[in-house]
């Protein structure tokens, strides 16, 4: 049984100007179930850098809600361009299951090609480590530290207002709103 | 009759370092009633400056939710220290009623003394313009462009999760979380 009030965190990054911004804002929204916002966290990561796993793990581990947190939601596995999150490592560091949510099935072939082109070939293994892409209703997920049945139960609770988990939708709106002055588009 | 889905905006400012920060972040949360977040807005105002009324009015007027907005909630009448909002002017510029929410009855005498001390005597009239401080349940409000009966109806809808309107609570959490890395305390 998954409790209606299960405490989860959803994470998304802000838009950025790849020619001028060195660091970007990453926002975490801690919610109880899919409706009550308990707190807002943030950190900054280097555009196209390698610090996302460490920075996001620190943000989660030092927050006051950590003892109650039961699941991490990521909006894809990269923040700030190609600052790819090592999902297995993030799960290990936080001792929490991680559910990566993807809206459209990613073209892994193209992403790998780009990584080779920009000399980030070593990041390909991080993509592979994130696990199989599984369709759940109208979205896709990659699961670490949690099985599909359990993940589906949690998704049912947190996807209150749209296809994607509410903490990810809010993290997206906040990251956009704070940087652009107004939130737009979808997570 | 006030609709359950009435669209409102709640505004709060971020914490700042009065010795180092020249500008501070002001966050606006657009909600339908007291539960569904429609969008996040932001602007920046000068610490102890005079641009809050103009900046906040612009933030509201240019947002895509403007045609649906029916009420503005402010957390007190000052942002960024003594950047005091001209509430009457804000209401006029946005063509919206403004409800200022105050948690504890302010000591107007002390505030006036401070304004005289820091040579901002001209701001005293802005405080006076914000109107009478009225107790509603456990909070205090100042009303512009709306009568007490109507304000009470809207407050009943938007104070879903605490004594204060949910869009103000969220604006506070976001402004704190984005600046400090973690939200703390109460709006």
Residue A185: the pLDDT is: 59
Mean pLDDT of A117-129: 84
Q: What is the pLDDT of residues A47-56, one digit of tens each?
A: 999 999 999 9
DSSP string, A73-128: EEESSEETTTEE--HHHHHHHHTS-EEEEESS---HHHHHHHHHHTT-GGGHHHHH
Determine the pLDDT at residue A7: 97
pTM of full prediction above 0.80: yes
Q: Is the pLDDT of residue A169 over 70?
A: yes
Q: Cβ–Cβ of B177/A63 closer than 8 Å?
A: no
Q: Which of A26-30, A131-135, B107-111 has the lowest mean pLDDT?
A: B107-111
Please say whether the beta carbons of A78 and A130 come within 8 A.
Answer: no
- Name the residue among A27, A161, A177 with its Cβ closest to that of B42: A177
- Burial class (CB within 10 angstroms; exposed 0-12, middle 13-18, buried 19+) of B59: buried
Q: Does A164 touch chain B if contact means CB atoms closer than 8 Å?
A: no
Residue-level pLDDT at B180: 87
Phi, psi of B152 (to 5 degrees): -60, -40
Q: How many CA atoms lie within 13 A of B109 on its CB side?
A: 0
Residue A160's pLDDT band (cuts 50, 70, 90): confident
User: Residue A54's beta-bridge partner residues?
Assistant: none
What per-residue confidence (pLDDT) applies to A129?
A: 86
Q: Convert the pLDDT of each residue in A80-115 to its tens digit.
A: 988 999 999 999 999 999 999 998 877 888 888 888
**Fold designation for A7-180:** archaeoglobus fulgidus dsm 4304 fold (3.30.2170)
Distance, CA of A179 to CA of A21 (rounded, Å) = 12
CA A42-A35-B15 angle, 5° bins:
35
Average pLDDT, chain A: 92
Disruptive mutation site among B14, B32, B37 for chain A (greatest number of A CBs within 10 Å): B37
pLDDT(A152) > 90? yes
For the CA atoms of B74, B76, B78, B81, the dihedral, rounded to the nearest 10 degrees, stands at: -120
Contact check, Cβ <8 Å, B178/A59: no
Confidence class of residue A175 from pLDDT cuts 50, 70 and 90?
very high
Pairing of strands A36-46, A23-32: antiparallel
Among partner residues A35, A42, A177, which is closest to B40 by beta-carbon distance? A177
pLDDT for residue B61:
97
Q: Which helix (H) or strand (E) holds A40?
A: strand A36-46
Residues of chain B falling short of pLDDT 70: 184-187
Q: Do A177 and B64 touch (CB under 8 A)?
A: no
Residue B104: per-residue pLDDT? 81
Token pair recorded at residue B102: 């105050």
Looking up tokens 């460490």, which residue turns up?
A: A54
Question: How much is the pLDDT for B32?
Answer: 95
Residues A60, A72 contacting (CB under 8 angstroms): yes
The predicted pLDDT at position B1 comes to 75
Residue with tokens 């005597």: B121
Q: Are the beta carbons of B75 and B187 closer than 8 angstroms?
A: yes
Residues 6 or more apart whose CB falls under 8 angstroms from that of B57 comprise B89, B90, B93, B94
- What's the CA gap between A5 and B43, in Å, rounded? 33
Helix, coil or strand: residue B133: coil
Q: Give strand ranges (E) for chain B.
A: 7-13, 23-32, 36-46, 69-75, 78-79, 83-84, 98-102, 134-136, 139-144
Residue A40 is nearest to which of B42, B43, B177, comparing CB atoms? B177
Here the ipTM equals 0.91
- Rounded to an integer, what distance in angstroms lies between the CA atom of residue A166 and that of residue A31? 8
């Amino acid at each position: 049984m998954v409790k209606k009030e299960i405490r989860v965190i959803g994470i998304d990054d802000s838009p950025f100007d790849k020619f001028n911004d060195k660091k970007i804002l990453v926002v975490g929204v801690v919610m109880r179930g899919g409706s009550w916002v308990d707190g807002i966290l943030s950190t900054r990561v280097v555009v196209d850098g390698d610090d996302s796993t460490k920075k996001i793990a620190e943000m989660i581990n030092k927050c006051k809600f950590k003892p109650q947190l039961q699941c991490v939601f990521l909006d894809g596995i990269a923040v700030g361009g190609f600052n790819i999150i090592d999902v297995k490592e993030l799960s290990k560091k936080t001792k929490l299951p991680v559910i990566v949510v993807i809206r459209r099935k990613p073209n892994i072939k193209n992403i790998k090609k780009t990584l080779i082109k920009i000399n980030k070939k070593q990041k390909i293994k991080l993509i592979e480590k994130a696990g199989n892409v599984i369709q759940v209703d109208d979205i896709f997920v990659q699961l670490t530290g949690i099985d599909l049945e359990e993940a589906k139960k949690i998704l049912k609770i947190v996807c209150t207002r749209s296809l994607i988990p509410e903490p990810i939708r809010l993290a997206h709106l906040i990251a956009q709103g704070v940087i652009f002055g107004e939130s737009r588009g979808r997570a």
